[in-house]
Structure formats: C-alpha cells, structure tokens
Amino acid sequence: MKRVAYTFAVIMAAFGMFLPLIYGAVPVIQRLLGENPLLKSLGISIIFWVLAYVLFEEEEKGADFTAS
C-alpha cells in the first residue's frame, strides 16, 4: 500500500509541475487554479514531492552481491 501511495505522490508531483504549461489550453485547469497558476502548481508539486520523499523505501539488497 505504501508503494502505491508513493507512486501516486510522484505522479501528482510531476503533474503539478506541468500545470502552468497546460493552463492556457485546458479551461478546467484555468477554473481550478484561478488567476495565479504558478504559486498553486508550486504548492502542489512541493506537497506531493515531500509526501513521496516520506513514503520512499529503499529495497534491501543482499550483502552477498558484490561488484567483483
């Protein structure tokens, strides 16, 4: 479940970064973000990147694998 939440957070953070680019073409996003899309998209990106950082778990690798 934590991995699914992490994947969702990364996708939403990436989507937040592209909101200002698609702001002019999609009327729904214009209504959603209002007059200042840059600040709101930065807020969305930062919130979801922090959430992804908190949810990230490194996979444990076995110590028996070495480079040589």
Query: Has residue 68 got a pLDDT over 90?
Result: no
Query: Has residue 63 got a pLDDT over 70?
Result: no
Residue 8 lies in a domain: yes
Query: Has residue 47 got a pLDDT over 70?
Result: yes
**Which residues span the domain enclosing 32?**
2-55
* pTM reported for the whole predicted model: 0.73
Residue 60 lies in a domain: no
Residue 17 lies in a domain: yes
Residue 64 lies in a domain: no
Average pLDDT, the chain: 87
Query: Has residue 31 got a pLDDT over 80?
Result: yes
Q: Check if the beta carbon of residue 16 is closer than 8 Å to that of residue 41.
A: yes
Q: How many domains does the chain have?
A: 1
Residue 61 lies in a domain: no
Report how far residue 47's alpha carbon sits from residue 15's, in angstroms, rounded to the nearest whole number.
12
Q: What pLDDT is attached to residue 67?
A: 67
Query: Has residue 5 got a pLDDT over 80?
Result: yes
